[in-house]
Structure 1
Amino acid sequence: MLHLRVVSPAQTTPQVLRLLEAEAGVAHLVLHRGAAVRPAGDVVEADVARECADALLSDLRTLDLDHDGALTLESLDTVLSDSADRAEEAAPGEGSDAVLWDELIARTGEESRLSFSFQAFLTIACLLAAIGAITDSAVLVVGAMVLGPEFGPLAAVAAGLVLRRRDLVRRGGTALAVGFPLGMAITAAATVLFDATGLLVSADLDGLDEVAFIYQVGPFSLIVALLAGVAGTLALTSAKSGSLVGVFISVTTVPAAAFASVAAVEGRWSEAGLSALQLLVNLVGIVVAAAGTLLVARWTGARRDRGRELSAG
Structure 2
Amino acid sequence: MASTSTDHPPVAVVGAGLIGVAWAICFARAGHPVHLNDRNDEILAAALEVVAAALDDMAEFDLLAGRSPKEVLAHIRPRVDLADALAGVVHVQECAPETIPDKSAIFERMGELTGPETVLASSTSAFVPSLFTRGVRHRERCLVAHPINPPYLVPLVQLVPAPWTDPAVVARTERLMVAAGQSPIVLKREADGFVVNRLQGALIHEALRIVDEGVAGPGEIDLAIAKGLGLRWSFMGPFETMELNAPAGIRDYVERYGGLYRRIIGVEDAEPLWTGRALDVIEADRTARLDRDRIGERQRWRDRRLMDLVASLRAAEKRTRWSPA
* TM beyond 0.5: no
Q: So what's the TM-score if we normalise by structure 2?
A: 0.21
More helix by share: 1
Which one has more relative contact order, counting CA pairs under 8 Å at least 6 apart?
Answer: 1
Which has the greater radius of gyration?
1
